[in-house]
């Protein structure tokens, strides 16, 4: 592999897989790659604001170590020498983990999240900690009142990144990280991926350890990657997967997300949910048109498309999910709320005041409803290899559009699969008339991430969207 270094995008334009191949072939040095990303961060992140903390010295030292290991024939695999970044709710030993909260500005953990450990063992290099909503949580509306100001969308700096993994979306799309880890409670990986034109995977509940990620809602929290393309998601998710005794819901299941990636979709039965009513709101026309085109692409590749619908209205999922989420979040933050509520941003404060009003009986009702909805959703999936449906209903709104900011988070089909625990991949389906990314979701059966990624990869390789990069 030859890298044309006369072109400015030669290194930063590489996908994870391409960079990995180049490093394995000794056509690219981890030091050169990390330096390119650190230079990019220095050049653009003052405007993009994807990072809270940059670990330049640590990243350079790790890159030198990776280079020496590879030169000595100690190649660890496809992530060796590759730079990434994590949402600032992942604990990092010796490195402040603020969760973008005034309550944690000086908090320095004494251990690493399991995801950080796994990626370090795979040879990946941590560039820094990424912007986020406070503790990765909120009720939807956006407030500019956190200690680190909001990240901006690389497709248009006046537009929202989606949340809550704001910096994860901004960094990968803006090329300040090769890949990023976010966390998804009700869409917080999928929605920044949707807003920023990325692929974001929420794996099956229990697939990837959450140990060392500051909790938001135990019932729904899932760690996951945001990447430029689906193959990259498969590589990262595979490295992250595996049993972890420190996470009480961790499951010991084999994770092979790449063997079938190129098998295509011929003969697969895909349920298509083209439109849905979310409290009287429907996806934007451009979102629906691009979803229809995605369905056509899959059909042309041999998939058997079957029109279907969710077994319950999105609002039914959201009502119960909100109760569980707010109550659990209040349980997590109760002590801080009682003593330091005035230090919390408005979004977290609102969520706390919601959570403290929920009785045990209300919470149990929501858990009972969750079980019903999860079984109904699983029954739907039992008839298909995968589902194709909207992700975010809208493109990224302007920061000046208060109603649009709330609607971007509220009007989605993300919650049903947080409730049911099924794996869901948000993919870029093209662009609207203003050049902003549109998205769709591919959902699979429990622990069948391989199928979700296979369908996503088939769509992605049949369309030109991954050759479109934002400029800002």
Partner 1 sequence: MSDDNFADVRLPADFTPEALARMREIAKIVRSNVANTKRTLDEFAEPAPVLDLHLRRR
**Residue 31 or 320 having the CB closest to partner 1:** 320
In the bound state with partner 1, the residue whose beta carbon lies nearer, of 84 and 142, is 142
**Is 101 a residue of the active site?**
no
Strand pairing class (51-54; 125-130): antiparallel
Q: Estimate the crossing angle of helix 314-340 against helix 360-381, to 10 degrees.
A: 140
* Closest to 436 (Cα-Cα) out of 204, 203, 153: 153
- In whole angstroms, the minimum distance from the beta carbon of 252 to partner 1 comes to 11
List the catalytic residue out of 101, 165, 188, 426.
188
User: Residue 467 CA to chain centroid, in angstroms?
Assistant: 20
Given the residues 164, 209, 241, 426, select the one marked as catalytic. 164
Under the binding rule (CB under 8 A), the answer on residue 240 touching partner 1 is no
Query: Applying CB under 8 A, which part among 62-70, 221-229, 298-306, 368-376 lies near partner 1?
Result: 368-376
Q: Smallest distance, Å, CB 372 to partner 1?
A: 5
Question: How far apart are the C-alpha atoms of 387 and 200, rounded to whole Å?
Answer: 16
Could you say whether residue 342 binds partner 1 (CB under 8 A)? yes
326 scored as a contact of partner 1 (CB under 8 A): yes
* Cα-based distances in Å from 192 to 285, 396, 437: 20, 9, 11
Using CB under 8 A as the binding rule, whether residue 281 contacts partner 1 is answered as: no
Nearer to partner 1, 85 or 213 (CB): 213
Burial classification of residue 198, based on how many CB atoms lie within 10 Å of its CB (0-12 exposed, 13-18 middle, 19 or more buried): buried
Q: Which of 218, 266, 235, 272 is nearest to 442 (CA)?
A: 272
Q: Does 257 bind partner 1 (CB under 8 A)?
A: no
Is residue 333 a contact point for partner 1 (CB under 8 A)? Answer: no
Please identify which of the residues 20, 50, 87, 129 carries the catalytic annotation.
87
Of 289, 301, 304, 315, the one binding partner 1 by CB under 8 A: 315
Asked whether the beta carbons of 225 and 188 are under 8 A apart, the reply is no
Using CB under 8 A, which residues numbered 438 to 467 contact partner 1? 446-447
Shortest distance, CB of residue 430 to partner 1, whole angstroms? 33
Q: By CB under 8 A, how many residues form the interface with partner 1?
A: 45
Quickly list DSSP for 251-308.
-------STTTTS--TT-EEEE-----BTTB---HHHHHHHHHHHHHHHHTT-EEEE-
Helix (H, G, I), strand (E, B) or coil at 78: coil
- By CB under 8 A, tell whether 353 contacts partner 1: yes
Indicate if 203 belongs to the active site: no
DSSP for residue 52: E
Q: Assess whether 164 carries a catalytic annotation.
A: yes
List residues with catalytic annotation: 87, 164, 188
Residues forming the site for partner 1 (CB under 8 A): 139, 204-206, 249, 251, 312, 315-316, 318-320, 322-323, 326, 337-339, 341-342, 349-350, 353-354, 356-359, 362, 364-372, 374-375, 378, 420-421, 446-447
């Amino acid at each position: 592999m030859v890298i044309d270094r006369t072109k400015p995008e030669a290194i930063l334009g590489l996908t994870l897989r391409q960079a990995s191949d180049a490093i394995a072939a000794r056509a690219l040095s981890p030091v050169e790659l990390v330096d390119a990303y650190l230079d990019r961060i220095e050049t653009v992140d003052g405007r993009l604001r994807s990072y809270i903390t940059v670990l330049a010295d640590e990243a350079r030292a790790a890159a030198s170590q990776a280079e020496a290991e590879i030169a000595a024939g100690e190649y660890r695999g496809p992530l060796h020498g590759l730079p990434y970044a994590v949402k600032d709710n992942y604990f990092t030993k010796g490195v402040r983990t603020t969760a973008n909260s005034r309550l944690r500005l000086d908090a320095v953990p004494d251990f690493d999240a399991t995801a950080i450990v796994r990626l370090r063992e795979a040879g990946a290099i941590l560039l820094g900690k990424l912007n986020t909503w406070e503790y990765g949580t909120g009720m939807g509306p956006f407030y500019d009142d956190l200690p680190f100001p909001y990240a901006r969308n690389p497709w248009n700096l006046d537009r929202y990144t989606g949340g809550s993994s704001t910096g994860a979306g901004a960094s990968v799309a803006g090329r300040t990280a090769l890949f990023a880890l976010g966390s998804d409670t009700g869409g917080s990986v999928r929605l920044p991926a949707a807003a920023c034109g990325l692929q974001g995977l929420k794996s099956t509940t229990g697939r990837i350890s959450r140990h060392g990620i500051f909790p938001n809602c135990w019932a729904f929290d899932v760690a996951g990657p945001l990447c430029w393309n689906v193959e990259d998601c498969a590589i990262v998710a595979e490295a992250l997967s595996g049993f972890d005794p420190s996470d009480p819901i961790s499951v010991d299941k084999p994770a092979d997300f790449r063997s079938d990636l190129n098998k295509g979709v011929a003969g697969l039965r895909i349920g298509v949910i083209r439109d849905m009513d979310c409290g009287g709101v429907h996806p934007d026309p451009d979102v629906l048109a691009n979803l229809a085109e995605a369905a056509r692409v899959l059909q042309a590749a041999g998939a058997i498309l079957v029109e279907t619908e969710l077994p319950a209205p999105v609002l039914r999922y959201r009502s119960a999910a909100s109760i569980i989420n707010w109550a659990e979040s209040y349980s997590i933050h109760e002590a801080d709320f009682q003593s330091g509520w005035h230090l919390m941003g408005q979004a977290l404060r609102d969520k706390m005041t919601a959570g403290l009003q929920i009785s045990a009986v209300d919470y149990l009702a929501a858990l009972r409803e969750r079980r019903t909805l999860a079984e109904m959703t699983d029954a739907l999936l039992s008839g298909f290899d995968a589902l194709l449906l909207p992700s975010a209903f809208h493109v990224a709104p302007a920061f000046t559009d208060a109603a649009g900011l709330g609607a971007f988070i509220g009007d989605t089909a993300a919650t049903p699969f947080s409730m049911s625990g099924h794996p869901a991949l948000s993919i870029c389906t093209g662009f609207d008339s203003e050049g902003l990314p549109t998205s769709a979701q591919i959902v699979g059966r429990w622990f069948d991430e391989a199928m979700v990624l296979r369908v996503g990869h088939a769509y992605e390789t049949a369309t030109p969207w991954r050759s479109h990069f934002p400029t800002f």
